[in-house]
Chain A
Amino acid sequence: MILTEPLLEVRDLEVTFGHIQALRGASLTVGKHEIVGLVGDNGAGKSTLVKAISGVRPADSGQIYVEGAPATLGSPAASRDLGIEVVYQDLALASHLDSVENLFLGRQLRRGGVLRALGFVDRAEMRRVATETFVTLKMTVKDLSTPVGDLSGGQRQAVAVARAAHWAERLIIMDEPTAALGPVQTEQVGKMIRRVREHGLSVLVVSHDLPQVLDICDRVVVFRHGLAVASVASGDIGVRDLVDLMSGAEAADEEEL
């Protein structure tokens, strides 16, 4: 059906923690410019899969392909080098620092010449690039020099997404992006995710918010007991059916796989 290489293909991943098999041969694909939702009950293996793809906790066995090429994602750095960025549920922002600094957290731009060797940061350039990033993503962050701890939840989310979008070359993984947000902000996050896609990135959204997943994602992958049990276009399924798939009530309905 799909003729071009998927952007990310995960095949038969297995991860075991002690006696618990968190992933039992899980497979998943994310196409280019595709927004894929990943849903499943608690303990279905969603977080474990995210950790395997982001290199935080590499899988024990299985293969990961990035644009068809086998990839070893043994560390967060390896994953980042392949253009994969993660927006963590806690956003991983330094609340005392401003939006610009958070965008470049640990990856600051440096001044030229001797000052570069001395490790001087190029504040002006970082501010310019940050402004540009926020403008292209149509995110309005009030004041770039306000510590992000003083921003609203939605604004902080925007900073975290902008950071991922700025650094990611291929894929952004979003872990529970709206868990702590109100309905209006949740709506805005949905728009942000679509805009990120417009900029040529793919997005993998892990969420419990099923209506939102159906709303923003092109396709939904359902995990149960460490396996992908369904992969359906979001237009072809409703919340009720998703819940059934997640809980296993309709275990027979797996022909889409």
Chain B
Amino acid sequence: MSSLSVADLRKRILYRGSPALVWFTLVVLLVVFSAMAPGLFTSKVNISNILSDASILIVLAVAATLILAVGDFDLSIGAVLVFSGILGAKVMIAWDGGVGTGIALGLVVCLVSGAACGALSGALVAYARIPSIITTLGVMGLLTGASNLITGGVDLRGLPPELTRNIGNRSFGDVVSLPTIVAFVVAIIVAVIIRSTVFGRNTLALGSNAEALRRVGVDVRFHRMKVFALAGMCYGLAGFLSLAKYSTTTIAGHSNDMLQAYTAAILGGSSPFGGVVTVVGTVVGVFIPTTLQNGFVVLGIDPFWQQVAVGGVLLVAVFVQTYRKNQR
């Protein structure tokens, strides 16, 4: 319909949260790693690994994108994931009926507890008006402590083997795993919600100008709480996927998730200041930390460098965003 002028294009790339930067970064990484470890990095097994590693992170980063849309931050990502995973694991381990029912129950417990944790943070942010960074810092501490109390700090074992066999490790064509498919479905659903529904449009409007939305009669506080609850449900789902992949609770394994999720979202083009997000950008963004991690392992570089690299990439991404904002 409308023709694209160069100015339009420039505006789109600079201001509309276009994932141009993230595509560029990803391509550079892929090219560099492929060149440094030809054959190994591009092998079917390795690509399958990258996709699988990305699955849980995609779910988390998409949730982080929702939180960014309303202009908030959620530091409790990993803590909610672990906490709801523990509750789900407890149920699945204790269940002595049919395995399928037990797993389904575990999934429901993960989703519900995740949503409840999100709703708690959301309620504190929206109604008690505590800044989200502080709120979720508190919730993170609360849940991490609770997780350690419940488990005594020892990962739960004895999950049904079917969980890993039929869900976590189920693979299609030896490349795409079920968790990867689930992650992409979640991303598509959230993208459609944001793009095409009243809920999604109001979510962006809330992040853009909450007062304006309030004046036209939208219950902005309840809406903010719902967004947090929805994000929490995603963390719960990620907790379930983590159980399915690793067949244990991985209590200590998610402290880095929040950093990676926000790096993916912000590098993908979502604004840390609210109102502008792109789920497509986020999904592409997830492959930055994932590819870095994988590439370093393949090249035999200490994988701790991945954290350093991801932190650096996040700072660059935020710098670019801030620059864009100040240009407006």
Which residues of A are at the interface with B, using a C-beta cutoff of 8 A? 56, 76-77, 80, 86, 88, 90, 92-97, 101, 105-108, 110, 118-121, 123, 143, 145-147, 149-150
B218 interfacial contact with A, CB 8 Å: yes
A119 touches B209 (CB 8 A): no
Are A96 and B197 in touch, CB under 8 angstroms?
no
User: Are B215 and A76 neighbours in the complex by a CB distance under 8 Å?
Assistant: yes
Choose one: B198, B204, B217; the contact of A94 (CB below 8 Å): B204
B198 touches A108 (CB 8 A): yes
Given contacts A76-B217, A105-B212, A150-B328, contact A97 B204 (CB under 8 A): yes
When the two chains form their complex, are residues B328 and A105 in contact, meaning their CB atoms are under 8 A apart?
A: no
Interface pairs (6), CB distance under 8 Å: A92-B209, A93-B212, A96-B208, A101-B201, A108-B201, A118-B197
Q: Which of chain B's residues have a CB closer than 8 A to the CB of A96?
A: 204, 207-208, 271, 274-276
**In the assembled complex, which residues on chain B have CB atoms less than 8 Å from the CB atom of A95?**
208-209, 275
Please determine whether B328 and A149 come into contact, CB atoms closer than 8 angstroms: yes
Residue-by-residue, is B208-237 near A (CB-CB < 8 Å gives 1, otherwise 0)?
110111011110000000000000000000
Collect the chain B residues with CB atoms within 8 Å of residue A110's CB. Answer: 198
Q: How far is the CB of B224 from chain A (nearest CB, A)?
A: 14
Nearest Cβ on chain B to A6's Cβ, whole angstroms: 26
Interface hub of A92, A96, A110, A121 (most chain B Cβ within 10 A):
A96
B15 touches A (CB below 8 Å): yes
Q: Given known contacts A94-B213, A96-B207, what 12 new A-B pairs fall within 8 Å (CB)? A: A76-B216, A80-B217, A92-B216, A94-B275, A96-B204, A96-B208, A101-B201, A105-B205, A105-B216, A106-B216, A106-B218, A147-B15
How many chain B residues touch A (Cβ–Cβ < 8 Å)?
27
Q: Are A77 and B217 in contact (CB under 8 A)?
A: yes
Closest Cβ neighbor of B199 among chain A residues: A119
| Contact A119 B328, beta carbon cutoff 8 Å | no
Residue of B nearest to A111 (CB): B196
Nearest CB of chain A from residue B204's CB, rounded to whole Å: 6
Q: Does B129 contact A (CB under 8 A)?
A: no
Contact of A106 among B16, B196, B213 (CB under 8 A): B213
State A96–B269 Cα separation when bound (angstroms). 14
Q: Which residues of chain A are within 8 angstroms of B216 by Cβ–Cβ distance?
A: 76, 92, 105-107
Q: Which residues of B are at the interface with A, using a C-beta cutoff of 8 A?
A: 2, 11, 15-16, 196-199, 201-202, 204-205, 207-209, 211-213, 215-218, 271, 274-276, 328
* Minimum CB–CB distance for A141 against chain B, Å: 14
Question: Which of B16, B196, B205, B216: most chain A CB closer than 10 A?
Answer: B216
Contact between A121 and B208 (Cβ–Cβ < 8 Å)?
Answer: no
Asked if A121 and B209 make an inter-chain contact with CB atoms under 8 angstroms apart, the answer reads no
3 smallest CB-CB distances across A and B, nearest first, come from A96-B275, A106-B216, A94-B208
Nearest A-chain residue to B274, judged by Cβ: A96
Q: How far, in whole Å, are A110 and B207 apart by their CA atoms in the complex?
A: 21
* Given the contacts A106-B202, A110-B198, A92 and B212 also touching, CB distance less than 8 Å: yes
Nearest opposing residue in chain A for B8, CB measure: A143
* Smallest CB separation, A52 vs chain B (Å): 15
A-chain residues with CB within 8 Å of residue B208 when the two chains form the complex? 94-97
Residues of A within 8 A of B2 (CB): 143, 145
Which residues does chain A contribute within 8 Å of B271, judged by CB atoms? 96
A120: chain B residues within 8 A (beta carbon)? 196-198
Distance of B280 from chain A, by nearest CB (Å): 17
A121 contacts B204, C-beta separation under 8 Å: no
Is the CB–CB distance between B215 and A92 below 8 Å?
yes
CA distance A149 to B271 in the complex (A): 15
Minimal beta-carbon separation of B30 from chain A (angstroms):
31
Q: Quote the shortest CB–CB distance from A149 to chain B (angstroms).
A: 6
Instruction: Identify which of A77, A92, A119, A146 contacts B211 (C-beta below 8 A).
Output: A92
Which residue of A is nearest B328, CB measured? A149
Assess the A119–B217 pair: CB atoms within 8 A.
no
Q: State whether B215 touches A121 (Cβ < 8 A).
A: no
Q: Which residues of B lie under 8 Å from residue A76 when comparing CB positions?
A: 215-217
Point out the residues of chain B lying under 8 angstroms from A143, CB to CB.
Answer: 2
Distance to closest chain A CB from B319 (angstroms): 20
User: What separation, in Å, do the CA atoms of A201 and B104 have in the docked complex?
Assistant: 58
Q: Is the CB of A119 within 8 A of B213?
A: no
A95, closest chain B residue (CB) = B208
* Contacts known (A76-B215, A94-B213, A101-B205); A119 close to B15, Cβ less than 8 A: no
Distance of B244 from chain A, by nearest CB (Å): 29
Q: Is the CB of B205 within 8 A of A119?
A: no
A121 touches which one: B11, B196, B276 (CB < 8 A)? B196
> Which B residues are CB-close (under 8 A) to A147?
15-16
Query: Given the complex of chains A and B, what is the CA–CA distance between A92 and B212 in angstroms?
Result: 4
